[in-house]
Structure 1
């Protein structure tokens, strides 16, 4: 099933509570489950091919974006690098290379307020999920067991999970 890119995945009035920093925490947990090094590389390729502003940082030093295999092969005691991606103006996603088994990232909910910003956020999740052919899940900060929304690759849209 393919959706029309002109139809919003979510309506702000129906999901505003999921974007309330007081309820969700400022930085909810977003992740792509069941990944491997090739998924991280696909993420790096997507970012390089997109029009998104981005930077790769080790510690406090910006560097050229290496291969995913190189980043994930760093010593266990090495500092965790970040890939900072701006999918829209004033909307920052921070990817942390914690493990090859899951792609983890944060977005500040204060940057996603209102329908236009929600549409930009959903577009970002959709592009990421489509490219990886994987779900992208958002949970309240520190509550991986309570997904509030995510990209569903079968439906090809961002949706609120139904019990």
Structure 2
């Protein structure tokens, strides 16, 4: 079994509770941290697609993406740690790495293990927490990678009415 048991956390993967695309973020980052994540994607061989607007392009260096003018097309990086789970990274700034995961893709223990493994790989590479928050609820993580525990942990009690 992975870091978390599906039966214990399924309520946190309910789109009605969390929003369909909860916010996943690594706070207090730098351009070097972004580059470390881009390097991790390549090293792990995860399928990835970088785009600016609707144009798909080769993956640039983090410094190039993060130094783009504010009025440029919005860059996105789509990463598939497995064929069934997609993370969409947004390059909003160097100080925070943020991405979305579609909760409809994280159903059941197997996909939860993939998701937790993905968070763990990023957190270990950066030596930083990776926080999962309900969509639009910045600063209220419900679960995430804990550096000290070296695993994904619950950071909030499940709601008493959420039974997934």
Q: TM-score, normalised by structure 2?
A: 0.93
After the TM superposition, which residues 1-163 of structure 1 pair with which residues of structure 2 at under 5 Å, given as runs? Answer: 7-161=1-155
Could you tell which deviates more after superposition, 23-32 or 77-86? 77-86
The change in CA–CA distance for 1:30 and 1:113 in structure 2 (over 3 A counts) is same
Counterpart Cα distance in 2 of 1:8 and 1:67 = 32
**Could you list the per-position Cα deviations for residues 54-82 of structure 1 after superposition, in whole angstroms to 9, with x for gaps in the alignment?**
11101111111111001111011112201
Task: Give the drift of 1:114.
Answer: 0.5
Contact 2:134 / 2:141 at 8 angstroms: preserved in 1?
yes
Question: In the TM superposition, what is the alpha-carbon distance from 1:51 to its structure 2 partner?
Answer: 2.2
Aligned residues: 157
CA drift at 1:125? 0.5
Quote the Cα distance in structure 2 between the aligned partners of 1:134 and 1:59. Answer: 30
Partner-residue secondary structure (3-state), 2:92: strand
- Partner Cα distance (2:73, 2:90) in 1: 10
**Offset at residue 162 of structure 1 (A):** 5.4
Runs of at least 4 residues off by over 6 Å: none
- Can you list the C-alpha shifts for 1:110-148, whole angstroms capped at 9, x where unaligned? 000101110010010001111111100000000012211
The C-alpha deviation readout for 1:2-53, integer Å capped at 9, x for no partner, is: xxxxx42100010000000111100000000000100000011001111211
